[in-house]
Amino acid sequence: MKKTERPFAWTVDILRRAKLRPTCQRMGLVKLLFGHGHRHICAEELYKEAKASGMNLSLATVYNTLNQFKEAGLLREILTGSDKAYFDTNLTPHSHLFFETNNHVEDLPAELISVQLSEALLKKVNVKSVEVVVRI
C-alpha cells in the first residue's frame, strides 16, 4: 500500500505484520520512526519528536515501545557502549560510527572498513554477520 493512499494505513500494516496491536501511540511512533527512510534514534530523541508532533505520551512509554518494536523485529539495537540505547530502522547487517561527543550514530560504509576473521575462528563457529561500532 502506498503511503499516500490513506493516512496512517501503512503504520497499521507495519504493526499488524509485527503482530502488535495498532494503538494510537504505536501508530504515531511508527510514523516518526519509519516515515522518512532509515534512521538511528534513541528514546529521548524520539520522545522529543513525539511531543513536538503533538503526541501525549511519557518517556517510559517511548522506551517500552522501542523495546517492543525491537522484540517484534521492527528495529535493531545498536550496541554503542554508551549508557543510551540506540535503535536502527535498517535491519540489514551493517557497521556504525558512534561520535561520543554528541552521541551521534551514522552508518559506516562497508568499503571504509575491513574485518578479517581468522581461519581458527571460522572453523570453530558459524558466523552469521560481522557488525562493527567505531567509537570516535
With CB under 5 A as the contact rule, which of the stretches 10-18, 24-32, 86-94, 123-131 interacts with Zn ion? 86-94
Q: Which amino acid belongs to residue 24?
A: C
CA atoms of 130 and 75, how far apart (whole Å): 18
What are the CB-based long-range contacts (under 8 Å, 24+) for 63-67?
A: 65/25, 65/26, 65/29, 66/29
Residue 88 as a binder of Zn ion (CB under 5 A): the answer is: yes
CA atoms of 13 and 29, how far apart (whole Å): 14
Give residue number: closest CB to Zn ion.
88
In angstroms, what is the minimal distance from the CB of 49 to Zn ion?
18
With CB under 5 A as the contact rule, which of the stretches 24-32, 62-70, 80-88, 123-131 interacts with Zn ion? 80-88
Of 28 and 88, which has the nearer Cβ to Zn ion? 88
Going through 28-136 in order, the beta strands assigned E by DSSP cover 40-42, 76-78, 86-88, 95-99, 104-108, 133-135
Q: Which of 44, 49, 107, 131 binds Zn ion (CB under 5 A)?
A: 107
In angstroms, what is the minimal distance from the CB of 94 to Zn ion?
6
Residue 80 as a binder of Zn ion (CB under 5 A): the answer is: no
Of 68 and 89, which has the nearer Cβ to Zn ion? 89
Residue 34 as a binder of Zn ion (CB under 5 A): the answer is: no
Residue 15, all three cell numbers: 504493526
